[in-house]
A and B are shown apart, each in its own frame.
Chain A
Amino acid sequence: MSRKYVIINADEVDSVDFSKVDETSADTVRFSLDGSQTFVKYIGEQPSFLSGKTEYTHSEMLTILATAEWSADEPPGE
């Protein structure tokens, strides 16, 4: 069974039950460059606290994360 990914607003992190997702904790999630969004991933049924949110596949999520909203297009050292 493949993973599913759901984007949430940064202020919704406090409502995430990290026992139901693969992310380790609120301190380890990845945020968009402006800090307004993050995401969680899981296998199986969508956790209830994510009900109604759009699910993305791994491939779709990689495409989203490659956009300027999530990734800087510059060398990490410069």
Chain B
Amino acid sequence: MPICLPSFAGVVQPASGGTPFANQYSVSFDGTDDRMNVGTGVNPTGSATVSMWFRRTGSVSGYGGALIETNNIYKMGFDNTFAISLKNGTDLTLESYNSTTGTYTNPVAAGVVSTNTWYHLALVLTYTDSSTSSAQFYIDGSTVGSAITLSGRTLAGLNEGFVIASYFVNNSYSYFFPGEVDELSIFNSALSASDISTLRGGASAGTLGVPADISSLNPVGWWRMGENDGGTGTTITDQGSGGNNGTLTNGPTFSTTVPS
């Protein structure tokens, strides 16, 4: 995978001289009631990886600030469901039942997210068997927090659909995320640290990269957040293999502020 260098106007010029990779748009969620829904169809069956770029632009109090959540965390009885959120806007948190601690809120790392700053986030879930799985987070290519041991948890809850920038709890949406999301992708395997580096454009670990062409990693879902849809409308086309388009609800807007 070529190392990519930022060029101009959101176009990334691969250092190897390959095809430039344009990234012009992200989707901006206002944190009041905006969200993106993806219906049933994305269905990792074991190990899986979720990757996204995000930038928080507004304040978040308490347990708000959900980046992604499988539908429906209650409906599914917490079996195989998960959510990634930013408690107080700064603390990376995994919401998923942990049979070891008996709680649903798993602190990952506190104070790792600042306002108006782009981050690349990856969650690698390694499924071993029906009694053991672990979740490891990366921010900007570096691991954050320790791997969280879950009891045989997979991301199969995605088969119920999922939501970006909100939770869906007790049949209503809440805990909204204020900010931009870009280049969301899901993989049907636990990607390596090297793959995570590819996802974030090959920059050195711990520094911000730029989105790159990830086709070679065969995402089962890849939502570029505007590029495939001309930066207009309410549909976010899935460029991955699954063809599960997203739907913008309550007025998320396309932004030309992108990771760079």
CA distance A72 to B63 in the complex (A): 8
- Specify which of B169, B178, B234 is in contact with A76 (CB 8 Å cutoff): B169
* Per-residue B-contact encoding for A40-78, CB less than 8 Å = 1, 0 else: 010000000000000000110111011000011111111
In order of increasing CB-CB distance, the 9 nearest A-B pairs are A22-B251, A77-B104, A30-B33, A66-B61, A75-B105, A76-B167, A77-B95, A73-B62, A23-B250
Q: How far is the CB of A43 from chain B (nearest CB, A)?
A: 9
Q: Which residues of A contact B249 (CB under 8 A)?
A: 24, 28
Interface membership of B30, Cβ < 8 A: yes
Q: Which residues of B contact A78 (CB under 8 A)?
A: 103-105
Judge whether A61 and B32 touch: CB under 8 Å: yes
Q: Which residues of B contact A74 (CB under 8 A)?
A: 62-63
- Interface contact tally, CB-CB below 8 A: 82
* Per-residue A-contact encoding for B247-260, CB less than 8 Å = 1, 0 else: 00111000000000
How many interface residues does chain A have, given as a range?
Answer: 20 to 34
How many interface residues does chain B have, given as a range?
Answer: 20 to 34
Could you tell me which residues of chain B, from 94 to 119, have a CB within 8 Å of some CB in chain A?
95-97, 103-105
Q: How far is the CB of B233 from chain A (nearest CB, A)?
A: 13
What are 27 inter-chain pairs, A to B, with CB distance below 8 A? A3-B30, A5-B32, A22-B250, A28-B250, A29-B250, A30-B32, A30-B33, A30-B172, A30-B174, A41-B30, A41-B251, A58-B58, A61-B32, A62-B58, A65-B32, A66-B61, A66-B62, A71-B61, A71-B62, A71-B174, A73-B62, A73-B63, A75-B63, A76-B169, A77-B95, A77-B104, A78-B103
